[in-house]
A = this chain, B = another copy of it.
Amino acid sequence: MNVGQWLTRVRKESPLVHNMTNVVVTNFVANGLLAIGASPVMAYAKEEVADMVRLARALVLNIGTLNETDVEAMLIAGKAANEANIPVVFDPVGAGATAYRTETARRILNEVNISILRGNASEIASVAGEQVRTKGVDAGDVQGDLMHVAKKVARMFQGVVVVTGKNDIVTDGEHVTIVSNGDAMLTKVTGTGCLLSAVLGAFASVGENIVESSVAALAYYGIAAEKAAKQTQAPGSFQLAFLNALYETSAEEVDEYAHIRGE
């Protein structure tokens, strides 16, 4: 798989990505999308989201600070994206933490055709109504039951599931690919998961194969984090270095440093 070419396409085509994300990370997501070469737009009002979706090449839904008004607009936007045949990424932030989040996540998955569902292990498991032991997920030991759950969820909603952690899992319900780039400093900056969901949307918008675009996005994102972490281990500096690295990392570096394996 030539993963670097996906980055080249994003930078060349600069796809407009419509984000309906949480109030904590809007600025970081917008700056991150600019840094990778995409064009961000944020719009939340039910009066306009369908119109905005029709201008965009991907839609990203994120329930990190959900409320009824925004969820209603997300459903309108999601259906418009389905009609327009553009990919929809869904980030079920905090699913499992409160009943409201878990139920809203399931409602969105029921009413909108989701192309990519991205979350951590417990969020993905909550969507499936499963328990997952999330301890012990390290480079040499991706848990079998987590892969099983990811595949099950992917089959449930007929899309691609991305479970992020020390190793990232990508599955369409049949095959599983593991991406092992990244750095623990990503956990010291808020919104790195939310931005990743938006980057997955940008990559998915410039080609047909969503498994491949997702693997490419994860490798690129993780490599940028590795570069930034070599420069600094302090969180304020890391956030800045990471945005710089997203901007500066080349397609060739992605091809050279990607750690990808099939399972």
Residues of B within 8 A of A23 (CB): 23, 26, 42
Contact residues of A between 20 and 72, Cβ < 8 Å to B: 22-28, 30-31, 34-35, 40-45, 47-48, 51-52, 55, 64-69
- A100–B47 contact, CB under 8 A? yes
Q: Which of A113-121, A124-132, A184-192 contacts its partner?
A: A184-192
Contact pattern, A 137-157, Cβ under 8 Å of B = 1, otherwise 0: 000000000000000000000
The answer to whether the Cβ of A98 comes within 8 Å of any Cβ in the partner chain is yes
Tell me if A94 counts as interface (CB < 8 A to partner B): yes
A interface SS class: helix
**Minimum Cβ distance to chain B for residue A213 (Å):** 23
Residues A97 and B27 in contact, CB atoms below 8 Å apart? no
Provide the bound-state CA to CA distance between A27 and B30, in Å.
13
* C-alpha gap A34/B184 in the complex (Å): 13
- The answer for the CA separation of A99 and B50 in the assembled complex, in Å, is 11
Chain B residues with Cβ below 8 Å from A66 are 45, 48
Instruction: Given A45-B68, A65-B44, verify A235-B100 contact (CB < 8 Å).
Output: no
Q: In chain A, residues 209-258, which have Cβ atoms closer than 8 Å to a Cβ of chain B?
A: 234-237, 239-244, 247-248
Instruction: Assess the A48–B101 pair: CB atoms within 8 A.
Output: yes
Selected contact of A45 from candidates B41, B100, B190, CB within 8 Å: B100
Are B42's CB and A22's CB within 8 A? yes
**Residues in chain B near residue A68, CB distance under 8 A:** 45, 47
* Beta-carbon contact of B52 and A188 below 8 Å: no
CB within 8 A of A34: which of B43, B189, B241?
B189
Contact between A235 and B44, CB atoms less than 8 A apart: no
A241 vs B234: C-alpha distance in the bound complex, in angstroms?
9
A42 to B98 CA separation, bound complex (whole angstroms): 12
Question: What would 20 A/B residue contacts be, using CB atoms closer than 8 Å?
Answer: A22-B42, A23-B23, A27-B27, A30-B190, A31-B235, A31-B236, A35-B235, A40-B190, A41-B97, A43-B98, A45-B66, A47-B68, A52-B98, A55-B98, A234-B247, A235-B244, A236-B243, A236-B244, A236-B247, A237-B244
7 residue pairs, one from A and one from B, having the closest CB atoms: A236-B243, A48-B100, A234-B244, A30-B190, A236-B240, A51-B98, A48-B98
